[in-house]
């Protein structure tokens, strides 16, 4: 444990211990045990089958695609796939849970232990253990703003397939927790098993936080429920760790409980005492047979997995010569990696990376676009780089050209031709400018002869006089001749 991750209290250092339970909605057109649609945003109770509404005599039927998605996710997390798993009933009452129980998995989940390697901003790589991944159905949603004295229930989400991905208590800072969820979301998106849209609730997390003196046993944990913002998760952990430290240092004890985070106040508040597993009275669901998978099915899914972020990053570094930082940035989102590869194909990969990371992403962020809706396509950006590569335009003109393509579109080479943006490489065309500058600035000439670096003043003046169109290389060559360097 590095000292930088310890939290200083009034009576010494403390260590925060964090585990996460991530609920990821499975990418599937229909629900886990019924054929009802999973489409987001329908009118209340418009995507509800008789199974989802728990009508008498309605029996669940497993959705094979959801099982395949869970197995693919397990393989992407380098986890053990359990060829035999069991669905259980988790019993609790809630108004938007029509059956009075949730069909989930408990002691025999479909996916066992795995790991996620997280790269921190400091350059440190941290391995976070995955305890398990199990399939379960989502509950509905209670709506409290339709009537002054009654709540309504929308069952559109009832029965939607979720993967609950449980980490081991390996996280030791809010930074690690945020980086872990970011990496996990990236892997899910690469696999196509969850869209990771936290605003729509497709990905949300319960965060378990406890504190202890370094090296001592785990403390009592509190669970912060239903977090759907990575930034808020960081804030919630920071507040909750401080809250627990202050209570212990004041001589109190931590009650195991479920808490909610209030983003407006930046603090957590008590929701209810934390249930234990025995409170849910788990038992195997009598309506569902044990789920048995074949080695062949798992092998087929393994063979069809896409290249995941870690492998793509390694390839970008090894084959394209990118720095670890640039490669990490480019592989974080699959769409960005695909865009970059299209731009870099047959071109200078480092130059392509620089343009995608700095010019393109900077402008996307400024204008509120994502890479999929970029006004400049990969082909257009590649065309700009081709013009730089064959010295038709300079780097400065390329930025002006990028701005034109962003706002007006068009073929970069045609735009350069139509607007006369090409570099001037004809020495005779810039010779007059150089001669005039040399004649009018004898002191600068002497400085350049004494220190060749001072020649850059002349280069700047020529570029300015030519409107940035003069070829810097041609200007350098001509000045060296004129100044006798």
Sign of the dihedral through C-alpha 32, 34, 39, 44? negative
Whether 178 contacts 165, CB under 8 Å? no
CA 352, CA 256: separation in Å to the nearest integer?
Answer: 51
d(CA 132, CA 113): 5
pTM for the predicted model, two decimal places: 0.86
- Compute the distance between CA of residue 24 and CA of residue 46 in angstroms, rounded to an integer: 22
Q: For position 432, what pLDDT does the model report?
A: 73
- In three-state secondary structure terms, 167 is strand
Task: Tell me what pLDDT residue 426 has.
Answer: 57
Tokens of 347: 């071109």
The pLDDT of residue 316:
97
As a whole number of angstroms, the longest Cα–Cα distance in the chain is: 99
Q: Are 455 and 483 in contact (CB under 8 A)?
A: yes
* DSSP labels, 33-55: SS--B--TTPSTTSS--TTTTT-
- Tokens in use for 418? 């139509």
The helix-helix angle for 412-419 and 395-408 (nearest 10°) equals 110
- What φ, ψ does residue 31 adopt, rounded to 5°? -75, 175
Q: What angle do CA 363, 353, 330 make, to 5 degrees?
A: 80
d(CA 358, CA 353): 8
Q: What is the pLDDT along the chain (485 residues), one digit of tens a residue?
A: 555 789 999 999 999 999 999 999 999 999 999 999 999 888 999 999 999 999 999 999 999 999 999 999 999 999 999 999 999 999 988 888 999 999 999 999 999 999 999 998 888 899 999 999 999 999 999 988 888 999 999 999 999 999 999 999 999 999 999 999 999 999 999 999 999 999 988 999 999 999 999 999 999 999 999 999 999 999 999 999 999 999 999 999 999 999 999 999 999 999 877 667 778 999 999 999 999 999 999 999 999 999 999 999 999 999 999 999 999 999 999 999 999 999 999 999 999 999 999 999 999 999 999 999 999 999 999 999 999 998 888 888 899 999 999 999 999 999 988 888 876 665 666 777 777 777 888 787 778 777 877 778 877 887 777 776 676 777 777 777 777 76
pLDDT number for residue 462:
76
Neighbours of 117 (CB within 10 A): 13
pLDDT reported for residue 57: 92
Given this model, what pLDDT does residue 485 score?
Answer: 66
**Beta carbons of 375 and 406 less than 8 angstroms apart:** yes
**Residue 90 bridge partners (DSSP):** 102
């Amino acid at each position: 444990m590095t000292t930088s991750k310890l939290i200083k209290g009034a009576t010494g250092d403390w260590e925060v211990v964090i585990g996460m339970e991530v609920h990821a909605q499975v990418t599937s057109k229909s629900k886990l045990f019924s054929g009802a649609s999973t489409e987001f945003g329908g009118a209340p109770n418009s995507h509800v089958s008789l199974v989802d509404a728990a009508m008498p005599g309605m029996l669940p039927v497993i959705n094979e695609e959801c099982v395949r998605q869970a197995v693919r996710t397990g393989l992407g997390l380098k986890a053990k796939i359990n060829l035999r798993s069991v669905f259980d009933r988790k019993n609790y009452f809630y108004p938007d849970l029509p059956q009075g129980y949730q069909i989930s998995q408990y002691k025999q989940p479909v996916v066992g232990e795995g790991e996620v390697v997280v790269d921190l901003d400091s350059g440190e790589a941290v391995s976070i253990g995955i305890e398990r991944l199990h399939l379960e159905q989502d509950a509905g949603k209670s709506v409290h703003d339709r009537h002054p004295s009654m709540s309504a229930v929308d069952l559109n989400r009832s029965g939607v397939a979720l993967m609950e991905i449980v980490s081991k208590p390996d996280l030791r800072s809010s930074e690690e927790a945020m980086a872990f969820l970011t990496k996990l979301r990236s892997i899910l998106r690469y696999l196509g098993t969850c869209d990771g849209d936290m605003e729509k609730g497709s990905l949300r997390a319960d965060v378990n936080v406890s504190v202890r003196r370094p090296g001592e046993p785990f403390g009592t944990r509190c669970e912060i429920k239903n977090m759907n913002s990575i930034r808020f998760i960081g804030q919630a952990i920071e507040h909750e760790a401080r809250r627990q430290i202050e209570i212990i240092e004041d001589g109190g004890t931590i009650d195991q409980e479920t808490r909610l985070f209030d983003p407006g106040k930046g603090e957590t508040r008590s929701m209810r005492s934390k249930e234990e597993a025995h409170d849910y009275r788990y038992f195997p669901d009598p309506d569902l047979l044990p789920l048995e998978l074949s080695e062949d099915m798992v092998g087929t899914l393994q063979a069809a997995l896409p290249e995941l972020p870690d492998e793509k990053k390694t390839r970008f570094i090894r084959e394209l010569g990118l720095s670890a930082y640039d490669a990490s940035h480019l592989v974080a989102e699959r769409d960005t990696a695909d865009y970059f590869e299209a731009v870099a194909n047959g071109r200078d990969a480092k130059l392509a990376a620089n343009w995608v990371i700095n010019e393109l992403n900077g402008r996307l962020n400024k204008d509120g676009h994502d890479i999929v809706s970029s006004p400049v396509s990969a082909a257009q950006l590649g065309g700009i780089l081709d013009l730089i590569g064959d010295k038709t335009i300079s780097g400065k003109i390329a930025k002006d050209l990028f701005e034109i393509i962003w706002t007006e579109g068009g073929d970069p080479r045609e735009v350069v031709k139509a607007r006369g943006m090409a570099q001037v490489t004809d020495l005779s065309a810039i010779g007059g400018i150089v001669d005039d500058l040399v004649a009018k600035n004898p002191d600068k000439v002497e400085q350049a002869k004494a220190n060749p670096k001072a020649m850059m003043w002349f280069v700047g003046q020529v570029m300015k006089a030519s409107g940035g169109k003069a070829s810097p290389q041609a200007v350098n060559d001509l000045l060296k001749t004129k100044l006798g360097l």
